[in-house]
Amino acid sequence: MAQAETVRSSLAESLASETAGDSIEYLSRGKLIRRRFWRHRLARLGLPVLVALYLMAIFADFIAPYPAHTRLKGFKDAPPSVIHFGMDGNPFQPYIYARERSFHPKTFREIYTEEEDEKYPIHFFVRGEPYWIMGLFKLDLHLFGVDEDTNITLFGTDSVSRDLFSRTVIAARVSLFVGLGGVAISFVLGCLIGGVSGYFGGIIDEVIQRIIDLLIAIPTLPLFMALSAAIPREWPVAHTYFAITMVLSIVGWTGLARVVRGKLLSLRDLDFVVASRLAGGSDLYIIWRHLLPNFASHLIVTMTLAIPGMILGETALSFIGLGMQEPGISWGVLLEDTKNFGALVHQPWKLIPALFIIVTILMFNFVGDGLRDAADPYSL
């Protein structure tokens, strides 16, 4: 007993001497998670980029100089506009030259040459085609534009003379939010079905697990193709978008359901669960109120890393013609023009939407890695 008291007193003196003059900061679990997340350099890069991409998607009509389906007369397969600086004595004034279209004498392909004697300044916050912001406010203000005598095409144009920059920005709404919608549905299905399977066990667990085995055994791409082919082509864009989201969610919940089942099998017999059951808590209440929050951080990480898969799934379906269709647009729809390798050699700017997909996937993976490290703030 005396020895134990001696040890405690020596530890107290050691702690007092080490912390003399220093303040001890006590952090909650939430603060520890946030601090560890911000220490992840790639996560610090990924989160602002993703926020910028989603803001771009929300305010796409303001950022885009033209509506998605506007055809620019005389600008078929035009290359990106070259931005110059220094006009009328202002070194910061951007401008473009007028472009003249001609045809190659041998291949008869369009050739665009700049007319350096005709300069057109790029104006900011200009009036243009009216649009609706989130269906609430009608505006006609656009971020930038040029005089009506010419057109500005930052990413070039497609085979029917539509501005690829405007279409890429507007297409982000479908490509980015279909991932969020698909993951949200998969999250609910995975938590609910996996929770029921792991909590009740027995024959219910056996039936659910065999259904999951069957879904996992089916090749993903043929299943997506079969389900997408069942979507009527005459449906409006909104209905098609919802149907694609459902298709992506049908098989997206299986992996999460397996994880939730395994976690609940290890938690369902713990004391706090038994106490809640004896207090009269319903099974659904115990699953959602007590069990799922115990590994909520893991679920958040799983959701974050699942969004890129949903985006790639929609892109693949739209690229092969089974996803979004005109007049609806997504990044996958824009990449349909790249199927023709011969045309792609002469118009490489049509691959620009693929860069947005790559950046989005990378940023989600960076954020997911940061969340995975921050999910357990007490680990080394």
307 and 234 share one domain: yes
Q: What is the pLDDT of residue 21?
A: 47
Q: Is residue 335 part of a domain?
A: yes
Is the pLDDT at 337 greater than 80, yes or no?
A: no
pTM: 0.80
Residue after which a domain boundary falls, among 128, 157, 186: 157
308 vs 319: CA distance, rounded Å: 16
30 vs 379: CA distance, rounded Å: 15
223 and 361 share one domain: yes
- Picking from 23-27, 83-87, 278-282, 294-298, which range would have the lowest pLDDT averaged per residue? 23-27
Q: Is residue 300 part of a domain?
A: yes
Is the pLDDT at 380 greater than 80, yes or no?
A: no
368 and 252 share one domain: yes
194 and 136 share one domain: no
Residues 32-73 have pLDDT tens digits of: 777 888 888 888 899 999 999 999 999 999 999 999 888 988
User: Between residues 294 and 80, which one has the greater pLDDT?
Assistant: 80
318 vs 329: CA distance, rounded Å: 9
Task: Output the CA–CA distances (angstroms, integers) from residue 26 to 29, 323, 367, in the order listed.
Answer: 10, 51, 26
Residue after which a domain boundary falls, among 108, 133, 157: 157
User: Between residues 27 and 93, which one has the greater pLDDT?
Assistant: 93
Query: The tokens of 209 are what?
Result: 């697990």
CA angle 337, 343, 349 (to 5 degrees): 65
E-only strand ranges, the chain: 84-87, 90-103, 110-121, 123-133, 137-145
The percent helix, strand, coil of the chain (3-state, each to 5) is: 60, 15, 25
153 and 187 share one domain: no
Return all residues near 191 (Cβ < 8 A) that are at least 6 apart: 256, 257, 260, 292, 299
Mean model confidence pLDDT for the chain: 81
Query: How many distinct structural domains can be found in the chain?
Result: 2
Question: Which domain does 261 fall in, by range?
Answer: 45-58+166-375
State the angle between helix axes of 352-374 and 296-319 in degrees (0 to 180), rounded to the nearest 10: 170
Q: What is the pLDDT of residue 59?
A: 92
Residues 88-121 have pLDDT tens digits of: 778 888 999 888 888 777 766 778 888 888 888 9
Residues 198-249 have pLDDT tens digits of: 888 889 889 998 988 888 887 777 777 777 777 777 777 667 777 777 777 7
Residue after which a domain boundary falls, among 157, 179, 201: 157
152 and 170 share one domain: no
Q: How many residues does the chain have?
A: 380
Confidence at 378, pLDDT banded by 50, 70, 90:
low
251: CATH:
1.10.3720.10
Query: The tokens of 272 are what?
Result: 């706090």
